[in-house]
Amino acid sequence: MADPYAVLEVLPSATAAEIKAAYRRLVKQHHPDAGGDDQRMLALNAAWEVLSDVERRRAHDRTRMPSGRSTTAPDLRRAAAEHNRAVAADDALVRWLRQVYAPIDRMLGEVINPFPNQFKALSADPYDDELMESFCSYLESSGRRIERIKELFQSLPTPPSVGGFGLSVYHCFSEVEDALVELERYTMGYVDNYLHDGREMLREAKQRRKRLQDERRRLEIV
């Protein structure tokens, strides 16, 4: 059996709370639903079973240090470095989710969610100046939100551990931006194809946003 401390990437001197936090972090990172490996999950669970039980942990500690000798200094330094890298990666992910993804998701909702009512109102009479003015105002405010979203997305690098997630976020707001372009074209010439295409793009972006929200919950760090 592999050393449970190495499996959970903690020092032998780690507290119970540190071991628990490491286990939770690694489970979320390597869970099969998140693209992880079944064998890695089995190893994590086996290590957790040993280190979460006081008596089993003591018994393991006695067997891993023959003749009463402790872990060597290089081993401790290596384990500490690995632990620090893992903690830094977690911190970067939390920061990115809170400062980049969360406000982007909120502003995407502020663009996508009002569209059905805007579309319904305009459909009553597209040639009514007041209705068209209201629709154009919605497009203008939505365009400003997209510009802010693009600034936020570039404000922090996407953590490598969620590179695919970050790419999906990019595709989502890009699709919304393209939809707004089509809808703007409609207001310039009343060509129904532009309205239809913009509406369909926003529908697809709404579905993509929902998938991102579901995946975001799996990335939660407790």
Out of 13-27, 74-88, 127-141, 163-177, which region has the weakest mean confidence (pLDDT)? 74-88
Amino acid identity for residue 49 in this structure: E
Average pLDDT over residues 87-105: 88
Q: Annotate 11-36 with b (16+ C-beta within 10 A) or e (fewer).
A: bbebeeeebbbbbebbbbbbbeeeeb
Residue with tokens 């697809």, as numbered in its chain: 204
Q: What is the pLDDT of residue 75?
A: 62
Q: Does domain 4-71 have CATH number 1.10.3210.10?
A: no
Under DSSP, the state recorded for 210 is H
Amino acid identity for residue 78 in this structure: R
pLDDT band at residue 87, thresholds of 50, 70 and 90?
low
Q: What is the pLDDT of residue 73?
A: 63
Task: Report the candidate in 53, 65, 55, 54 with the shortest Cα–Cα distance to residue 3.
Answer: 65
pLDDT band at residue 68, thresholds of 50, 70 and 90?
very low
Q: How far apart are CA 202 and CA 177, in angstroms?
A: 9
Full DSSP string of 8-59: TT--TT--HHHHHHHHHHHHHHH-GGGT--HHHHHHHHHHHHHHTSHHHHHH
| Cβ–Cβ < 8 Å for 146, 82 | no
pLDDT band at residue 54, thresholds of 50, 70 and 90?
confident
- Averaged confidence pLDDT in the chain: 87
What 3-state DSSP class applies to 13?
coil
Of how many residues is the chain composed?
A: 222
**pLDDT value at 65 more than 60:** no
**pLDDT value at 177 more than 50:** yes
Task: Report the candidate in 187, 206, 201, 200 with the shortest Cα–Cα distance to residue 139.
Answer: 187
Q: How far apart are CA 205 and CA 104, in angstroms?
A: 13
Q: What is the pLDDT of residues 147-168, one digit of tens each?
A: 999 999 999 999 887 888 999 9
Out of 19-23, 63-67, 162-166, which region has the weakest mean confidence (pLDDT)? 63-67
Amino acid identity for residue 90 in this structure: D
Termini Cα distance of the chain? 28
What residues does each domain of the chain span?
A: 4-71, 93-218
Q: How far apart are CA 90 and CA 14, in angstroms?
A: 18
Give the percent of the chain with pLDDT over 90: 54
